[in-house]
Amino acid sequence: MVNYKVFQFINLSGKYVIGDIVIPEINVVRKRIRKGLVRIAYVYPSIYEAMVSSLISHMIYYFINDKYPEVYVERFTAKKLYGDEVEPRSLETNTPLKFFELIITSIHYEASIATLIRLMKAAGIPVRRTLRKQVIIAGGPAIMANPHPYSDIIDAFIIGEAEDLLEKIVNLYLEYRDNKKLFLERLASLKSIYVPGIKKGITHRAYTRDLDSSYYPTIQFYDPDKEPAYGNGFIMESSRGCRFWCRFCLEGRLFKPYRPRSFMVMKNIINKGLLNTGLNRVVFYSLNFLFSRDEKAIAEYLCSNNIRYSFPSLRYEVVNDDMLELLKCSGQRTITLAPESFSKHVQYLIGKYDRVKALIDKLIQVINHGFRLKLYLISGMKGETLDDVRFNIESIRRIAKYAKEHGLKLTVTINPLVPKAKTMYQWIGMIDLNNAKRIIRYYKNELGGLVDTRPLYVNWAWIQASISLGTSELGRTLILWGYFGGDLGSWRRALKETGFNTSYAFNGYKYGDPLPWDNIRIGERVEELNAIEYLIWKRLTG
């Protein structure tokens, strides 16, 4: 075991202290800086509060630090989302990023690449991989679907889930760390690591077959003075993957098959986690929460022990009176559902197949149990009609009126559909930006304060689509975008500077032609079903 402690000594200021040293976080890994210590940087390309909410951050940090006494992983985050960054220094020892020989990072959201570039610029580290001494290895959903847009920047890509790959990567690094070229060649020999310029042929996604026997970080860090995205609480991933095949959803494809954790494993993890963090709240992560018998059992266990918890967006199929009563004791007073659309026509297009009347009845049932309601809708996709939009508006008005009569609030977030690689929308693309903005404005004009959305979201959807469906030719534009500050204005400036054309984000790729990311294989019939779903969509849209 490594030399780290759970810091739970509290002075009157509420800070965590050891002797005269003030520690703003708990559960920080401390290792003696000595000759021969291998220092690895984990860079999360967003602000601290986002890193704390990311399970993979805890997994990488504790797995490597725990397993390898001779290795010290230290963490880095951005201070802000856009503009110039200060020189990045580690949270553990205040060491500048440029002194770390290996950098591991996670790209969950395509636009995060701009923040990574901003951090590298501030650190004085060459952004282009061919000019850099340090090795940068990246994983995350955006990478798994299509690593090519980032290939000018990143040295090696993790295609899949980290549990089965971290140990192999670190072992190879310890053996070949003095020879970057040889290290990358050895990485390229791994089935699920893609190394641009070296790896030929197919890179197959890796995934953990049995979550119950896999590593889980029962120690998690947090700063009590900073509020994470979902509030302070012990993160519990109750299942991974999704049972459904919504045609627009990238995560539902990348993390096939659906794998639940068992009750006893979750119970043991949570009990250890709450003890190690000093918290009395659990934050559940799951794409299909409460679909498994074990998830229901763990919710009942937490309720019976007065442990609060927060839960993710639910599918309407799990909503019933008994479940809503069970959820009341969580302490969470808002239930989030993502019907995407109330229009039967649109639901056929995107593969949701919710029964509209049953869906509305479930939403009313949620309100009857005293919960506030938050809905996520997608509007602004090829094949959607004005009648579909109007039906959504009528449905929202009906639900909002009912909620108001019961003294409760309804909020609705509406976003345009973002086409992603490894979904059928790789052949379809997104609608025209001006048309997408007109649809958003129409919703806002008709629904007023009910709708929490802005035309600004459309521009970010364009950026996401441009990166997700991009090729290695996008590299120079991404680098300039990060150097210019990483915001919307910087994106337009970078495109103007390079003359890069993003028309593919709107047109999609020609069905039947080779795709840039064909060398990445997700498996679990994902690629085959994408093709079938596209042909169904073509029939539905004429």
pLDDT the model gives residue 24: 77
- Cβ neighbours of residue 353 under 8 Å, at least 6 residues apart? 347
DSSP string, 518-538: TTEE--TTHHHHHHHHHHHHH
pLDDT the model gives residue 12: 30
Segment 489-538, tens digit of pLDDT? 999 999 999 999 999 999 999 999 999 999 999 999 999 999 999 999 99
pLDDT exceeds cutoff 60 at 58: yes
The answer to whether residues 257 and 209 touch, using CB atoms and an 8 Å cutoff, is no
The answer to whether residues 224 and 264 touch, using CB atoms and an 8 Å cutoff, is no
Report the top-level CATH class of 211-312.
alpha beta
pLDDT band of residue 454 (cuts 50, 70, 90) is low
Taking the C-alpha atoms of residue 116 and residue 120, their distance in angstroms, rounded to an integer, is 6
pLDDT the model gives residue 5: 43
pLDDT exceeds cutoff 50 at 359: yes
Taking the C-alpha atoms of residue 359 and residue 372, their distance in angstroms, rounded to an integer, is 16
pLDDT the model gives residue 11: 31
- Cβ neighbours of residue 235 under 8 Å, at least 6 residues apart? 53, 55, 58, 220, 282, 283, 285
Q: Tell me the one-letter amino acid at 458.
A: V
Alpha helices per DSSP H over 448-525: 456-468, 475-484, 488-498, 504-507
pLDDT the model gives residue 456: 67
The residue extents of the domains of the chain are 16-204, 211-312
Q: How far is CA 265 from CA 138, 239, 284, in A?
A: 29, 12, 14
DSSP string, 113-170: HHHHHHHHHHHT--SSGGG-SSEEEEESHHHHH--GGGTTT-SEEE-B-STTTHHHHH
Q: What is the mean pLDDT of the chain?
A: 93
pLDDT the model gives residue 169: 98
Tokens linked to 326: 């069970």
The answer to whether residues 141 and 493 touch, using CB atoms and an 8 Å cutoff, is no
Indicate the length of the chain as a whole number: 542
pLDDT the model gives residue 420: 98
For residue 415, give the H/E element and its range: strand 410-415
Taking the C-alpha atoms of residue 128 and residue 517, their distance in angstroms, rounded to an integer, is 21
For residue 435, give the H/E element and its range: helix 433-447
Nearest CA among 240, 190, 241 for reference residue 216:
240
The answer to whether residues 498 and 476 touch, using CB atoms and an 8 Å cutoff, is yes
pLDDT exceeds cutoff 60 at 278: yes
Query: What does CATH list as the number for 16-204?
Result: 3.40.50
First-residue to last-residue Cα distance in the chain = 62
Q: Calculate the CA 276 to chain-centre distance.
A: 25
Q: Nearest 5°: phi and psi at 21?
A: -90, 125
* Diameter over CA atoms, the chain: 72
pLDDT the model gives residue 221: 96
Segment 23-34, tens digit of pLDDT? 579 999 999 999
| CB-based burial label for 197 (10 Å; 0-12, 13-18, 19+) | exposed
> Is the peptide bond prior to 257 cis by the omega test (within 30 degrees of 0)?
yes
SS3 244: coil
